Amino acid sequence: MFLTCEGTLGIVPATMDYRGQARPGHFHAGYQQIQGINLGYLQIGGTQMFALAQVLSDLFKDIPRTTISKKMETLKIKSRRCDLAELRTLKAIHSVPTRAVKCSLISKADLEALCTSCESLSPRR
């Protein structure tokens, strides 16, 4: 199965159960520009979820990870582990490295709160 996603939303089919019925789990993949950086996301259950690895490497590349972790703890931001289908989709849209074996997701609302909290920490673009 190949998934191509070039800036538009795509539908990733849910897996089928043994009776041929689609299980819940449809999600959309796409790109969102945040602070001038294109980040890949998955739309899961009505919520945009971003790969924490890409957020840390692209959006907060100049801020130590320990600082980001402390901010997340202070803001009570929880990440959730993605499942295999979500991980494969994130790899296909180049949000996580192809060698990744796991990935955590963060919601858009939490990402916006984190961006606001870290505004004073990153150098101006």
Predicted confidence (pLDDT) per residue in 59-113, tens digit: 999 999 999 999 999 999 999 999 999 999 999 999 999 999 999 999 999 999 9
Per-domain residue ranges of the chain:
28-120
What single letter denotes the amino acid at residue 35?
Q
CATH match of 28-120 with 3.10.260.20: yes
Report phi then psi at 119, rounded to 5.
Answer: -50, -45
Q: How confident is the model at residue 4 (pLDDT cuts 50, 70, 90)?
A: very low
Strands (E) located in 1-125: 10-12, 27-34, 37-44, 47-51, 80-81, 104-107
According to the model, what pLDDT value does residue 123 have? 60
According to the model, what pLDDT value does residue 27 have? 80
Place of tokens 């849209």: 93
pTM of the model: 0.76
Percent of the chain with pLDDT over 90: 66
